[in-house]
Amino acid sequence: MNNIYNSLKVKDIFKSLKARFFIIVAVTGLISCLCMHLIILDSYEDRAVSVRTTEVQTQLRILANHLIFYNYLQSPSSDVINAELDMLANLYDGRVMVINDDLKVVKDTYNISQGKTIISEEVVNCLKTGSKGTVSKYDQSNGYIELLTPIIETEVIEEQDVSEYGNPNEVVRGVLLTSVSTDTIETTMEILSNRAATIEVLIALVIILFAAMVSYALLKPFDRITAAINDIKEGYTDQPIVGPNYLETDAIIRAFNALLRRMKVLDDSRQEFVSNVSHELKTPITSMKILADSLLTQEDVPNEVYKEFMTDISHEVDREDKIINDLLALVKMDKTSAGLSITSVDVVALTESVLKRMRPIAKKHNIDLTLESKRAITAEIDEVKISLVIMNLVENAIKYNKDNGSVKVELDADHQYFYMKVIDTGMGIPEDALDHIYERFYRVDKSRSREIGGTGLGLAIARNAVLMHRGSIDVKSTLGEGTTFSVKLPLFCVGVKQ
């Protein structure tokens, strides 16, 4: 396991689910942390600027009233007001200019613009609009707030007018143009930002640790599965994988265990096959050995006995040969259609030729062998393999028949498939054996089958050949009455065309 990880290249790290998970969690955490930082600082700034603006605005309004009270615009020499102006300017680290309604600067706390005329749209506007002209502007890049405050004198009008308008008349006498530094706000923000950065580093460490832990914990089941699969691969165990896991890994485990079961079944059946093969091949050899030995141990064996024994040995050799031939035929077939060599075949003629070969055996038992075809059938099939199917079915129908019985082969076709039925009037197959007859080496009656030269491989060969053609084979049987095998095969088979 460790070796696998050690040999990972940097490029491969990003392919790792764990690394991706870690990166996603970490980046999400860090980005939200950073956003929070920016949003909080930004709203602090807005809030601080607005508080500062209201505060200064209030002071300025009070100051404006004092200006009127001391008639400062006409005689700007009042010490009280000058002191008040300086104090305000000092307090907020800013500059206050008093401008009269002729746009002339009456007082500048910086003592620069005194006596000058200020022609600024905002000032003119403020003079015109009166109390509505209170304006503030925040210049973030230069770090100050600019405020315009009208200096308003209220004149009490005649009594009837008061009742008519309900308001004292306002006259704008001048404007206070003030700029206030926001340095303190910026300093506070810097301090806040630094502190936030420290906290952020801590949070980032926590997030990274958390992301690492989460990605490790969440993806641990996958490591466990890999380890379990490796154990099985290396042969330590063939136990199914278990473990408290997620739905997703559970699906993987279930699929893998199913695969494992299937492999085990295949392995078992292969082992059984090998042991069956050995047994089947051994039987004739044992017989031959006994026959040969008994000939060798006897002295002066009469010629007839010698001949009889040699005939038996010859039969056993034939048997061995048949088993080997059947095995070879079976081994050559797998269930895919890749191994087929397809040609256009006249199915009726093919069946006829197979039956012709079978006739002598049928005659021996006085069995009536007939072929009935409803139409001419030409199909694209593997001729050798399909003739094996017909031969095995007809051979069985004759072998497991009664004397004077009959075997009928029926052929028919539609536009897609052709159908073959092999109907016999034989002994039939017991119901519980029906599921097993296609198994290799399975015989209902072992001794009888052997007696008549069966290997138990005929139906396995026939079924494999049919499946290779993507067809189907079916059997119906009544004990003591007879058996019918039905084969359905496609007229056009997908395979290697010749």
Ligand X SMILES: Nc1ncnc2c1ncn2[C@@H]1O[C@H](COP(=O)(O)OP(=O)(O)O)[C@@H](O)[C@H]1O
Q: For binding to ligand X (CB under 6 A), which residues are involved?
A: 392, 396-397, 400, 424, 426-429, 437, 442-445, 449, 454-460, 483
**Among Mg ion, ligand X, none, partner that 427 touches (CB below 5 to 8 angstroms by kind):** ligand X
Write out 295-344 in H/E/C secondary structure: HHHCCCCCHHHHHHHHHHHHHHHHHHHHHHHHHHHHHHCCCCHHHCEEEE
CB of 391 to ligand X, least distance (A): 10
Q: Are 380 and 342 in contact (CB under 8 A)?
A: yes
Q: Is 458 in the site for Mg ion (CB under 5 A)?
A: yes
**Among Mg ion, ligand X, none, partner that 241 touches (CB below 5 to 8 angstroms by kind):** none
Q: Which stretch binds Mg ion (CB under 5 A): 96-104, 383-391, 455-463, 489-497?
A: 455-463
Residue 429 phi, psi dihedral angles, 5° rounding: -120, 130
Closest CA to 118 of 132, 133, 102: 102
Q: Are 399 and 454 in contact (CB under 8 A)?
A: yes
Q: Are 468 and 385 in contact (CB under 8 A)?
A: yes
Spatial separation of the C-alpha atoms in residues 1 and 228, rounded to whole Å: 11
Q: Is 477 in the site for Mg ion (CB under 5 A)?
A: no
- For residues 150 and 454, which CB has a smaller minimum distance to Mg ion in the complex? 454
**Among Mg ion, ligand X, none, partner that 426 touches (CB below 5 to 8 angstroms by kind):** ligand X
Q: How far does the chain reach from its first CA to its final CA, in angstroms?
A: 50
Spatial separation of the C-alpha atoms in residues 343 and 336, rounded to whole Å: 17
Task: Number of residues interacting with Mg ion: please give it, by CB under 5 A.
Answer: 2
- For residues 53 and 351, which CB has a smaller minimum distance to ligand X in the complex? 351
Q: Judging by DSSP bridges, how do beta strands 135-139 and 368-373 pair with one another? A: unpaired
Name residue 385's amino acid: K
Residue length, the chain? 498
CB of 443 to Mg ion, least distance (A): 9
- For residues 458 and 471, which CB has a smaller minimum distance to ligand X in the complex? 458
CB of 299 to Mg ion, least distance (A): 42
Helix (H, G, I), strand (E, B) or coil at 372: strand
CB of 367 to ligand X, least distance (A): 12
**Among Mg ion, ligand X, none, partner that 391 touches (CB below 5 to 8 angstroms by kind):** none
CB of 360 to ligand X, least distance (A): 18
- For residues 373 and 392, which CB has a smaller minimum distance to ligand X in the complex? 392
Angle in degrees, CA 36, 37, 43, rounded to 5: 85
> For residue 407, how many C-alpha atoms fall within 13 Å in the half-sphere facing its CB?
29
- For residues 379 and 390, which CB has a smaller minimum distance to ligand X in the complex? 390
- For residues 149 and 401, which CB has a smaller minimum distance to ligand X in the complex? 401
CB of 322 to ligand X, least distance (A): 9
- For residues 221 and 458, which CB has a smaller minimum distance to ligand X in the complex? 458
**Among Mg ion, ligand X, none, partner that 397 touches (CB below 5 to 8 angstroms by kind):** ligand X
Q: Are 99 and 60 in contact (CB under 8 A)?
A: no
Q: Is 396 in the site for Mg ion (CB under 5 A)?
A: yes
Closest CA to 441 of 358, 336, 330: 330
CB of 393 to Mg ion, least distance (A): 8
Spatial separation of the C-alpha atoms in residues 353 and 347, rounded to whole Å: 10
Q: Is 495 in the site for Mg ion (CB under 5 A)?
A: no
- For residues 186 and 439, which CB has a smaller minimum distance to Mg ion in the complex? 439
Spatial separation of the C-alpha atoms in residues 53 and 168, rounded to whole Å: 27
Residue 407 phi, psi dihedral angles, 5° rounding: -130, 125
CB of 444 to ligand X, least distance (A): 3
- For residues 144 and 441, which CB has a smaller minimum distance to ligand X in the complex? 441
**Closest chain position to Mg ion (CB):** 458
CB of 296 to ligand X, least distance (A): 32
Residues near Mg ion (CB under 5 A) are: 396, 458
